[in-house]
Amino acid sequence: MRDKTKLCATTPLEVENLRISSPKQTAAGATAVLSSVKHLYNELSLRKCTKTLFSVNQMSGFDCPGCAWPDPDDHRSSIGEFCENGAKAIAEEATNKRVGPDFFARYSVEELSGWSDYRLGKSGRLTHPMILHPGKSHYEKISWDEAFQKIGAQLNNLDNPDEAVFYTSGRTSNEAAFLYQLFVRNYGTNNLPDCSNMCHESSGVALTETLGIGKGSVKLEDFYITDLIIIIGQNPGTNHPRMLSSLQIAKKNGAQIIAINPMPETGLIKFKNPQNLGGWLGSGTSLSDLFLPVRVGADVPLIKAILCLLLEEEETNPGSIFDHEFIENHTSGYTDFIESLKNENLYELAELSGVELELIEEAANKIKQAKRMIICWAMGLTQHKNGVQNIREVVNLLLLKGCMGKPGSGTCPTRGHSNVQGDRTMGIWEKPQDTFLDRIKENFGFEPPRHHGYDTIAAIKAMFEKKAKVFFAMGGNFLSATPDTNYTAKALQNCDLTVQVSTKLNRSHLITGKTGIILPCLGRTEIDLQSNKAQFVSVENSMGIVHTSRGQLKPASKHLLSEPVIIATLAEATLKDSQVPWKWLVEDYDRIRDIIEQTIPGFDNYNQRVRNEGGFYLPNGARDGHYHTQTGKANFTINPVPDLKIDADEFIMMTIRSHDQFNTTIYGLDDRYRGIYQARRVVLMNKKDIKKIKCEAGDEVDLIGYYEGEKRIAPKFKIVEYPIPEKCLATYFPEANVLVPINSYADRSYTPTSKYVVVKLEASKYPSKSRNHTSLMGKS
């Protein structure tokens, strides 16, 4: 029998043989190629490897299942249009390893929950629908028909549709996402939380309010003609490696780069492009011209300090810094914004930021000289209590310089998963607009619900409080991606049914409701045959380009279904009176695109235009200088300086990814760029802080959070000395997610504050048998 109390919701404690070396000073190059080859060789055959790599991100190939960085509009490299982490993602999906009924018969859920996330992920591709019956210790095989009937019956037995939650991962294609939200609304709820809630929701809220669209405004070509690129709260070398090629071209064309981050990151120091000879034999391209080591959470004070310096120069030499023509014709709120800025104290702001005033002045001077400027950011700005205000302050800087709505300038929120932006465009949102719902009603003959549904935080709370009883996940690893791991685990276990549509095994399959079901689906790399015809799907990248993705490989199992087919079949099993022709739609995905065209603006001639090489751009008002805000203009905003005070024995912890990781998928145990090997339970600390707490590098500590009177513990983390501001820490997620409180989230966007967690350190009460720590500092 299954004992819920013995299941591990977090990665179990294991002895790790930590090795440390000096952080690398150059990203990519031959080392990245060798790493890619190693991961691919371990997972698939040479023939399969070659076929896959020369298809990924090509015009007629499949879209990388990794990040959402765009491909060049006019060409693709014949050598290969992928990065190291893209190769790792492909190796994970195209692996020859399999997880089938025999595997689940061999291993109980309790035993599997004792495995690390890395080991779970490396088990292989799921091959059959599986069910975990109430109280049972092992998953068992179930037919597709029986699975759909069970899920449909459970949904129809709920007291009301709002007792079900339907989550979406950013991997889901446009076609699947549109069908999914259509099914969920036809069923009767707007409970459509998604991974955006946990990452760029703060960006969407801030950009919609200030610029009229919750997406970035730049195109890839803007990087090639800009004067200045500011990269803040982002680590492209690990999280968006193909961005480095764009930065290299920008540098070659004369752009300067300012990096703002609590820690220096290799990918913003120097880059060796493995697609050309210089990337193999040369010294590489230096990227950042200036690095500002901001304190965790102090981005608003830093940007305000820069703004104060710009204002000082503008008042001394009127018209020399600010674009007054742009401000007068295209913005609102300028006067109030300037008055608020005059009340700030430059020296206090600099001290709060943790950055030396000289460096801030150098950054301001570069901004003064720039006529065209792009600002890029990621989770380092969004996952704070003032995440929305962080983004609004970024917009203020761009508006003062008139760097919106013109070539070489604009906003660039860098998205993670490859179609997370497209899913929102397709209607995966718990707060749909009435105009969208009106079109749903007109086109599909049912009245969609009008009340808002649950976002991710609200969904977890509803399950914890037993207000939601069915959880359905279209992809992803919900348990490991969300905050407050133990709370979220209890929430999932409170459900009557949890369903996971997945390609590979993960921890969310082990922490289930009373009944758990796994539905295995096709991956992005695989051929999707419907009615004996190969189908393609479409995705939207970070810059609003919609393009095709065509799988090239034979499916991992004959028992797999595509996500659109899973949705359509479930809809037929659940909705007895629906007027939507579900099965007919998935016989040919062109039919799905036709109904998307009828419903969502910007998709005119969808089937024709998406077949053009490189796809097509969606409309973007901010890009074109049209701001669809309440004022009809781009809006300046006033953003207060956050209170960053902590007690003497407290630290600010942020969660980060390792270089062997994409979101919750762990490819390996090395963080090569940071010089950390064979360990994940590490805490990066400033050497002065290590001395103050009377510890040494390699000592084990427990991280303890006290939020609203509740104690949370992440045990057994080894100290790693690292160049990070004093009183700041960095740890990997999902290991440290247990410390992110469920009630700590960004104002208005409800994004978990995974980048700002107050913790204390204590000597570990879970000591290892030996330190197992080897320092290779000074070696590369």
List pLDDT tens digits, range 348-389. Answer: 999 999 999 999 999 999 999 999 999 999 999 999 999 999
* pLDDT-based confidence at residue 771 (cuts at 50, 70, 90): very low
Q: Which residue in 6, 9, 27 sits closest to 672, CA to CA?
A: 27
Confidence class for position 74, pLDDT limits 50, 70, 90? low
pLDDT at 770 over 60: no
**87 CB-near residues (< 8 Å, 6+ apart):** 36, 39, 40, 53
DSSP 504: B
Contact status, residue 363 vs residue 258, Cβ threshold 8 Å:
yes
Instruction: Name the CA radius of gyration of the chain, rounded.
Output: 25
The percentage of residues in the chain with a pLDDT greater than 90, rounded to a whole number, is 83
Residue 776 banded pLDDT, cuts 50, 70, 90: very low
- What phi and psi, each to the nearest 5 degrees, are found at residue 758? -80, 125
Region for residue 263 given its phi and psi (left: phi exceeds 0; alpha: psi -120 to 50; beta: otherwise): beta
pLDDT digits (tens, 9 = 90+) for 148-161: 999 999 999 999 99
3-state SS class at 447 = coil
Count of residues for the chain? 780
- Is the predicted pLDDT of residue 207 greater than 60, yes or no? yes
**pLDDT reading at 447 higher than 90:** yes
User: What's phi and psi for 649, nearest 5 deg?
Assistant: -100, 15
- pTM of the full predicted structure? 0.96
**How far is it, in rounded angstroms, from Cα 293 to Cα 298?**
10
CA-to-CA dists, residue 665 to 41, 93, 474, 477, angstroms: 18, 11, 16, 9
C-alpha 15, offset from chain centre:
29
Residue among 507, 469, 653 at smallest CA distance from 120: 507
Can you spell out the DSSP letters for 670-692? Answer: -BGGGTEES---EEEE-HHHHHH
Look up residue 85 and give its two tokens: 């982490």
Q: What average pLDDT does range 499-504 have in this prediction?
A: 98
Q: What pLDDT does 14 receive?
A: 78
Q: Are strands 164-168 and 470-474 parallel, antiparallel or unpaired?
A: parallel
- CA separation, residue 697 to residues 238, 676, 690 (Å): 24, 12, 7
Mean pLDDT of 766-770: 58
| Predicted confidence (pLDDT) at residue 139 exceeds the cutoff of 70 | yes
How far is it, in rounded angstroms, from Cα 742 to Cα 751? 10
CA distance 519 to 262: 41
Closest C-alpha to 759, from 739, 773, 742, 744 = 739
What are the E-state strand segments in 8-68? 18-21, 27-28
Model pLDDT, residue 779: 38
> Is 239 strand, coil or helix?
helix
CB-neighbour burial class of residue 696 (10 A; exposed 0-12, middle 13-18, buried 19+) = exposed
Written in H, E and C, the secondary structure of 334-360 is HHHHHHHHHCCCHHHHHHHHCCCHHHH
> Do 462 and 201 contact (CB within 8 A), yes or no?
no
Q: Which helix (H) or strand (E) holds 515?
A: strand 515-520
Per-residue pLDDT for 15 more than 90?
no
Share above pLDDT 70 across residues of the chain, in percent, rounded to a whole number:
96
Q: Which residue has the tokens 């939380």?
A: 193
